[in-house]
Amino acid sequence: MRDTASHARETERDAELTSILATTPRIVDLLARGASVSPQADGLIYLRHPLDPDPVRFSFDDYMGYVKATETWFRKQGIGAGDGVAIFAPPSPVALFSIWGASACGVGEPLNLLFSREAIVSQLNAISAKILVTTAPGAPGGLFERVEGMLKDVPTLQRIVTVPLDGTVAFDGEVLSPDASWRDDYGRCTDAAEAERVAIYLPTGGTTGSPKVARLPNRAVVASATTTRLAYDLRPGDASLIPLPLFHVGGLTCGAAACCAGGACMIIPGPGGTRDPAYIPNFWRLVEKYRATHGGNVPTAIGAIAETPIEGADISSLRVVSVGGSICPPEIERRFLAKWGKSGALPQIYGMTEVAGAITHDFHGDRNKPGFVGTRAPLFELAILANGAVHREAPSPVGELIVRGPQVFLGYMDKKQTDGAMHEGWLRTGDLCRIDAEGYVEIMGRVKDIIIRGGHNIDPRTIEDAALEYPGVALAAAVGRPDSYAGEVPILFVTVQPGASVDLDALNDFVRERIMEPPARPRAVARVAEMPVTPVGKIFKPKLREIATAEAAREALAQAGLEAAASADAAIDPQRGMVLSVTTDAAHAARVRATLETFPVKVDIHTR
């Protein structure tokens, strides 16, 4: 059971979200509530690159004024309720204002910047997009070049509009000015039906082929942004470094929306975000320069920042550093906290696109429990689906986490995909979890096969389909292999047709050439004599994950010079998830543990 104070805070959060949902139908209304507290304070600071000496600053008044001006511009182009506006641009003021402006009059869809041309066409056709917003020809990333001439591929698409990355808010060279009339509209809506209107489309499920499109109503975005504001105690005077992309709920709702809703300033450290080579080496200096109170990232970046010297930077303003996107290995967390000079645990956030943000949080004022990802978001119900039964009690058995509440989406564009995502009114997360007696959630693994590399979702079918085109390959299966930096990386297993000969290096080159996005390219290709299968003949990927995990451990031990001192095997425990079982002697046990606990799996050390 949770202590009385924690339970009281949970009840207060439920009550606050209930009140906000009753009075704030649209996401732009929620943004306006926060912006109106101190309208002349900085609402957005945009660095054109992490070392920008003169960043572009927007007061909250200008921030909302540009959202309104952008909405008006879209309306003049014929955008109305249900009309799709796709934004294929990196984090920047004009990209952010385009998303919110489109949500006010139609539906905004920020596109994954790693999407292949095929995936972009699929997305635009799925949402019947009328406008595509992207960067100018020759801009970094080659985004315009990837969509050039796409009007012929998308019948509904009327216009491809280019925008700058210098902080200017302009569309095809038409420079906008803040529209003060936002004060007469945003925050004043009384139409309750607006809460259920789809405001945002978000793609999910990979970056090639035909990724799914989640339909997020205003209600879900408002609820999720409020959840993160409460979790991080975001308030006027705060400033949050947000390097995550706007096509991800971590950057859009848990980042940008939560900041503005709390009256806190959002700092975009450059269009490249975490991927900019100058961001991580200068993280502590950015905290000092902008007096950042909040920061957050995926475990890969947190680990890299932990290796970055502080070099005397004054980081006393920093209050919260959160981690999400995938499970953070304990050793990475320990290193970061040691560098920061803090004890305890980093606040975890666990969520998914289909709930517009967080399912669980480590909430401000509550105890962070190491190894867990926090407790439920306000008004959320959590349960475990195990052996066909729904278990709502705590502690729970291990099974698939299912959820329901105001944060849940309205389904995918494809109804068949929606049917497969639900169970008797509950959203299936695809994650193997347990809920302890205090309501904390522990993630044991994934029911789904999506590989998550540093927060980047990879559909294994993309890899498998490419491999099966190679002469001589009989079966192909891609799984995630634990990685101390990225959480996991793709590894490809294949079997060979009878009488055929397959050069694994050549096969790897063949597959990598056919995958546009670097994160989706397999780290290695391994041949197995026989593919493990279920009784009905489906490839049994859990066994392959065990093989990949054991091999990753052995490789790490060898690199540490411990291959002769320890042996490692891996197995999936029904109660604990993936477990590395390592045998060594007492003299080497500490080094072996330190080496292997960088992986996001359980580690059991047995001394001989």
CATH number of domain containing 496: 3.30.300.30
What does the pLDDT average to over 511-521? Answer: 89
Number of domains in the chain: 3
Pair 542, 523 in one domain:
no
> Mean pLDDT in the chain?
93
- Full domain range(s) for residue 455: 450-531
Strands 129-135 and 107-110: unpaired
The per-residue pLDDT for 538 is 65
Beta strands in 290-356 (DSSP E): 294-297, 320-323, 349-352
What is the per-residue pLDDT across 168-213, written as a single tens digit (0 to 9) for each? 999 999 999 999 999 999 999 999 999 999 999 999 865 555 678 9
According to DSSP, the β-strands at 524-527 and 170-171 are unpaired
For residues 544 and 488, membership in a common domain is answered with no
**Strands 84-88 and 129-135, bridge-based pairing:** parallel
Considering the domain architecture, whether residues 343 and 483 belong to the same structural domain is answered as no
pLDDT class for 516, splitting at 50, 70, 90?
A: confident
Query: With pLDDT > 70 as the criterion, what percentage of the chain qualifies?
Result: 97
| 580 and 566 within one domain | yes
In a shared domain, residues 347 and 479: no
DSSP 470: S
Instruction: Specify the pLDDT at position 107.
Output: 98
> 11-24 burial string, b = 16+ CB within 10 Å, else e?
eebeeebeebbeeb
Residue 542 and residue 479: Cα distance in Å, rounded?
9
- pLDDT band of residue 536 (cuts 50, 70, 90) is very low
| 131 and 254 both lie in a single domain | yes
CB atoms within 10 A of CB 537: 7
Highest mean pLDDT among 282-296, 329-343, 476-490: 282-296
Give a yes or no: residue 442 inside a domain.
Answer: no
What 8-state DSSP symbol labels residue 30?
H
Whether residue 70 is predicted with pLDDT greater than 50 in this model: the reply is: yes
- In angstroms, the CA 38 to CA 263 distance is 7
Query: Residue 374 and residue 370: Cα distance in Å, rounded?
Result: 9
Regarding whether 179 and 134 lie in a shared domain, the answer is yes
Q: What is the DSSP string of 144-195?
A: HHHHTTGGGT-TT--EEEEE-SSS--EETTEE----GGGGGTTT----GGGG
Determine the pLDDT at residue 480.
93
Q: What is the pLDDT of residue 209?
A: 56
Which CATH number characterizes residue 556's domain? 3.30.300
Residue ranges of alpha helices (H) inside 470-540 are 504-513
pLDDT for the residue numbered 338: 92
CATH code where residue 187 lies: 3.40.50.12780
Can you give the pLDDT at residue 205?
65
Do 428 and 457 lie in one domain? The reply is no
Q: Residue 403: inside a domain, yes or no?
A: yes
pLDDT in tens, 408-448: 999 999 888 898 899 999 999 988 899 999 999 998 766 66
Q: What percent of the chain has pLDDT over 90?
A: 77
| pLDDT at residue 307 in the model | 85
Residue 438 lies in a domain: no
Residue 527 lies in a domain: yes
Spatial separation of the C-alpha atoms in residues 519 and 565, rounded to whole Å: 33
CA atoms within 13 A on the CB side of 436: 16
Residues 593-600: what's their mean pLDDT?
A: 91
On whether both 357 and 395 belong to a single domain, the answer is yes
Final residue belonging to a domain, choices 513, 531, 549: 531
Q: Is residue 439 one of the residues assigned to a domain? A: no
Instruction: For residues 482 and 377, state if they share a domain.
Output: no
CA angle, corner 106, sides to 166 and 406, nearest 5? 105
Residue 95's closest CA among 198, 216, 244, 211?
244
Between residues 461 and 574, which one has the greater pLDDT? 461
Closest CA to 432 of 573, 547, 304: 573
Do the beta carbons of residue 126 and residue 214 sit within 8 Å? no
What per-residue confidence (pLDDT) applies to 157? Answer: 98
Does residue 296 contact residue 321 with C-beta atoms inside 8 Å? Answer: yes
Q: What is the DSSP code string of 215-278? A: EEEHHHHHHHHHHHHHHHT--TT-EEE--S-TTSHHHIIIIIIHHHHTTPEEEE--TTGGGSTT
Beta-carbon contacts of residue 425 (< 8 Å; ≥ 6 apart): 404
List the 577-584 sheet strands across, edge first: 566-573, 577-584, 602-607
In degrees and rounded to multiples of 5, residue 91 shows phi and psi of -55, 125
Within this chain, do residues 222 and 361 fall inside the same structural domain, yes or no?
yes
Compute, in degrees rounded to 10, the torsion defined by CA atoms 114, 91, 240, 374.
Answer: -30
Q: Strands 566-573 and 524-527, how do they pair?
A: unpaired
Distance, in Å, from the CA atom of 366 to the CA atom of 8, rounded to the nearest integer, reads 11
- From CA 146, how far away is CA 445, in angstroms rounded? 36
**289/416 same-domain check:** yes
Query: Is-contact 513 505, C-beta < 8 A?
Result: no
Q: How does pLDDT run across 538-567, given as a tens digit for each residue?
A: 688 889 999 999 999 999 999 999 999 999
Res. 455 pLDDT band, cuts 50 70 90:
confident
Q: Which two tokens stand for residue 484?
A: 């101390």
Query: Are the C-beta atoms of residues 595 and 556 closer than 8 Å to each other?
Result: yes
- Residue position matching structure tokens 């049994």: 540
From 500, 531, 562, give the residue that closes a domain.
Answer: 531
Position 594 scores a pLDDT of 92
Of residues 476, 467, 473, the one with CA closest to residue 500: 473
Q: What was the pLDDT predicted at 255?
A: 96
| Cα–Cα distance for residue pair 1/523, rounded to 1 Å | 44
**Contacts of 267 by beta carbon, 8 Å cutoff, 6+ apart:** 44, 45, 47, 239, 240, 241, 242, 286, 290, 292
Out of 200-204, 276-280, 482-486, least confident range: 482-486
- Give the number of other CB atoms < 10 A from CB of residue 55: 18
CA atoms in the 13 A half-sphere facing the CB of 309: 2
The model's confidence at residue 114, banded by pLDDT at 50, 70 and 90, is confident
| CA gap 211, 106 in Å, rounded | 21
Average pLDDT of the residues in 499-522: 92
In sequence order, what DSSP letters do the residues of 55-78 get, joined into one string? -EEEEHHHHHHHHHHHHHHHHHTT
